[in-house]
Chains A and B, each alone.
Chain A
Amino acid sequence: MASVVNSQPQALAESNPDNRSAAAKSRTSPWYKPRGIIGQTVLWALLIGFSILFLYPFVWLLSATFKPREDVFDNRLIPETWVFDNYVQVWEQLPLLSWLGNSFTIALLAAGLVTISSSIVAFGFAYFRFPFRNLLFGLVLGTMMLPGAVTLIPQYLIWKDLGFLGTNVPLWGANLFGSAFYIFLQRQFFLGLPRDIFEAARIDGCSYFGLFRRIALPLSIPSFIIVFVFEFQASWTNLQAPLVYLNFGQPSEYTVPLGISYAMSLFSPTSGGEADYQYVMTAALLVTLPMLILFAIGQRYFIEGLAGQGRKG
């Protein structure tokens, strides 16, 4: 039956204003109209051209990791002479495994904690009615606008006063208290859930926390995944915070971005070392890969979550 409905000519479906599903479909489907052979050619040429532009640095990075030292500035995508020693050297000279482990632990803690705390707070703002709720939520939105550079110094001093300097606690600790953007995101999601189911559960004797854990939580898995992947990526790629909190420790305590920054200095000619950029490139590739794998797994949620944001409103 469904195929019969779908196969009816588009024009017919649109000419019938009472056909709500067809109207809704035409509203959300992309505005797509073939515009002659020239328009289509230009469109696809641009799309493919930009793809090459975006992919070239990755392909070039991959090829650079197989190049000997003297060829690394060479723009050939297929190395003239293949070298596999870069991987061995990087593995031996840099504590890559520790960096990956540190980053993974920190990103997991940061993302896990912020997902849980933000959704608890978001549920508080979405479901309950209490004095000053709107004022407080306005403050949440206000902190979204607060530049991170401004709170960098005092937050550093707070962590220092608390005695957590040189540990990785400052890199995830504040996530225990939720984050404005995610609170906003999750609240929007919770507001979309019908209130009736919560009222029904209350009548059945469900506690307030039970409403969150048994009803809101299971229904909001998609927005959970979005927040988790977002924060995992943010934490994994963060340079400034590890630079501030971990820079004075041992290189084995570094996170991935700090480690690469350290490798860039170590292998650059300005700091007296040899210009071994092939090692920097190999390390850069190795630490980018986990992110790309995560993206490959989560991209459906990730992109839909971001691009679908406006569609609910």
Chain B
Amino acid sequence: MATALEPRGKRRIKRPRWIKEPFNREARAGYLFILPWIIGFLVFTLGAMIYSLVISFTNYDLSTNTAAPVGFSNYERLLEDPKVMTSLGNTLYYAVLSVPLEICFALLLAYLLHRIPDRGAGVFRVIYYLPKMTPSVAAASIFLLLLNGNSGAINTFLGWFGIDGPQWLIDPTWMKPSIILIGLWSVSGTMLILLAALKNVPKDLYEAAALDGAGAVRQFFSVTVPMISNALFFCTIVLTIAALQIFDQAFLLFYRDTTNAAPDAALFVGVYLFQQAFQQFNMGFAAAIAWLLFVIILLVTVVQVRFGNKLVYYEGGRS
């Protein structure tokens, strides 16, 4: 009977089965399987976000467990507190410098590994990946001494070339570059993603380019980079989101001790957020900082996606 109602001469549209029977046995089983995620999402993501929004409009004090609504005053304080602006500036400085440097360095390493046979590459891949396995505390304690201005290995190395190395961890100008340097040491996660992308570039493209007379450099920029632009784009977004939240190294090297006031030169938003929430116990204000950080990350990501989609080459058209 149902078929009689359909217009003649038109092809029957095949509908998914669940439109006829939305909550059949299979659908119910599916929901049961994804139930853990649904609970987690409702509590720890959606619930947490709403909770944090509510708190940001109160003066929630962790030490006394009291909260009174204060309207927008936490958000007004974002504009007035000079440390917010300082930490924001530092964070953007760090992200703008560290992300391109990490991408370039990771690409260089991946390219080198790509150019040697797999058997030899295995050893180097393991060596290059070791820093990623090192807990950030261990890395920070190592670099605490390697970056020592007077006798650290890095300044000794610079000394061989007649360069008088700076006081990395004391001079405010060099505090952020120190953290960038440590980040470069453990860039291998990005390296592996780019290496996988390099392996996927069809070999015949290089042969065609070589026939057209393209040298190694030309091939790199005209074949390799466009073909892996998708992976480069992905790494840029992930690294930017991570860079805007930088915490571990800055906290360990400079803001571990609450008694010892380090200069604000490496005070990042993530660090200030932590200080306000868990050292000053101003949860309400900290929640407002978190929302500011969220909005910034969202804006940066949206801008990157819009610009990136123009630059990225997608095999088989845009998805």
Contact = CB atoms under 8 A, between A and B. Distances in A.
Contacts of A54: 127-128, 130-131, 185
B37 A183 contact: yes
A302 to B, nearest CB: 8
Nearest to A271: B257
B141 A303 contact: no
A256 B141 CA distance: 13
Interface stretch (B2-10, B72-80, B172-180, B283-291): B283-291
Nearest to A161: B51
A291 B30 contact: no
A154 B248 contact: no
B55 interface: yes
Contact of B128 (A35, A50, A236): A50
B137 A28 contact: no
Interface residues of A, number: 101
B52 A158 contact: no
Contacts of B301: 145
A40 to B, nearest CB: 9
B82 interface: no
Nearest to B151: A73
B30 A133 contact: yes
Contacts of A143: 41, 45
B33 A61 contact: no
B244 interface: yes
23 contacts: A28-B199, A60-B153, A117-B37, A120-B36, A124-B30, A129-B27, A131-B22, A131-B27, A136-B38, A143-B45, A151-B48, A151-B52, A154-B51, A154-B287, A155-B44, A156-B277, A239-B135, A256-B137, A261-B252, A264-B144, A271-B259, A292-B134, A295-B129
Given A31-B114, A157-B55, A291-B135, 16 more contacts: A26-B203, A27-B202, A28-B199, A31-B115, A32-B116, A54-B131, A58-B134, A124-B37, A127-B30, A155-B48, A156-B277, A237-B136, A239-B252, A243-B274, A287-B138, A303-B125
